[in-house]
Amino acid sequence: MTLDIKICGLKSDEAVAAALESGASHIGFIFFEKSPRHISIEEAARLREAARGKALAVAVTVDADDATLDAIVSGMKPDILQLHGHETADRIRELKSRHGLPVIKALSIREASDLDLIKTYLGVADRFLLDAKPPAGADLPGGNGVAFDWTILTSLDANVDYMLSGGVNAGNIASALRLARPSGVDVSSGVENAPGEKDPEKIRAFFRAVRAITNEGAA
């Protein structure tokens, strides 16, 4: 079983290096000013250069307007856009034609009925990222380190291509992957010492934990 691994909210050379050396398929940069992981376009452009040919660079935005997205796309040249707000299917069609980039649509999940939203975006979004709904009063739509009940994913149509996100870490990824069959996992808080402060050793430990479970079948 191969599994994409996205390390999100990167801000330092050390964290990018740990993600790439460990074999990250995707590295994510957050463009959302309220986030402790927010990064400037210039800095993201510099960091993403290290990943060229190694991992795909993902620009994460939240209900961003055209001017903001134009600046991100021309400045940082991401491989993928991750839309983490309330973007409609029409807005995604518009952005895909404007920028010619694949789109990951993040959806906030708490209960099984929240998965119904997937239908709205099927054939429009290239991939889904299923994240936990933010806790009451949270400032951030993602990156809260909160997990949802993964057992609800057992009923999900096997053709839905999604990354599992929200509160994932080295300690719980094995149970997540025993319950769900995502094509990728996305982690941010779970590899940090404090909000926005990635820990290279936690990044490496996360990959070891994923490999322990994905290699089980190969032994």
Ligand X SMILES: O=C(O)c1ccccc1N[C@@H]1O[C@H](COP(=O)(O)O)[C@@H](O)[C@H]1O
Task: Output the six-digit token pair for 91.
Answer: 């807005």
CB of 196 to ligand X, least distance (A): 8
Secondary structure E strands in the chain: 4-8, 26-30, 56-61, 80-83, 103-109, 127-132, 162-165, 184-187, 192-194, 197-198
Cβ nearer to ligand X, comparing 89 with 146: 146
Q: Round to whole Å and give the CA distance between 104 and 40.
A: 21
Q: Which span sits near ligand X by CB under 6 A: 18-26, 72-80, 94-102, 161-169?
A: 161-169
Nearest distance from C-beta of residue 132 to ligand X, angstroms: 7
Q: If binding is defined by CB under 6 A, does position 62 make contact with ligand X?
A: yes
Tell me the site size for ligand X, rule CB under 6 A: 26
- Long-range CB contacts (< 8 A, 24+ apart) of 43-49? 43/11, 44/72, 44/75, 44/76, 45/75, 45/76, 45/77, 47/10, 47/11, 47/13, 47/16, 48/76, 48/77, 48/78
Which residues sit opposite 118 in a β-bridge?
none
Q: Which of 99, 103, 125, 144 binds ligand X (CB under 6 A)?
A: 144
Find the binder of ligand X among 11, 15, 141, 182 (CB under 6 A). Answer: 141
Span near ligand X by CB under 6 A; candidates 25-33, 39-47, 148-156, 211-219: 25-33
Residue 38 CB, shortest distance to ligand X, in Å, is: 7
* The one among 28, 78, 182, 184 contacting ligand X by CB under 6 A: 28
The answer to whether 144 and 110 are in contact (CB under 8 A) is no
**Of the two residues 143 and 182, which places its CB atom closer to ligand X in the complex?**
143
- Does residue number 108 form part of the binding site for ligand X (CB under 6 A)? no
Q: Does residue 168 contact residue 186 with C-beta atoms inside 8 Å?
A: yes
Q: Strand, coil or helix: what is 107?
A: strand
- One of 78, 142, 182, 184 touching ligand X (CB under 6 A): 142
Q: Are the beta carbons of 86 and 49 closer than 8 angstroms?
A: no
Token pair in block for residue 40: 């400037």
84 binds ligand X (CB under 6 A): yes
Q: In this complex, which beta carbon is closest to ligand X, that of residue 87 or of residue 186?
A: 186
* Interface with ligand X (CB under 6 A): 8-9, 28, 30, 32, 35, 37, 60, 62, 84, 131, 140-145, 165-168, 186-190
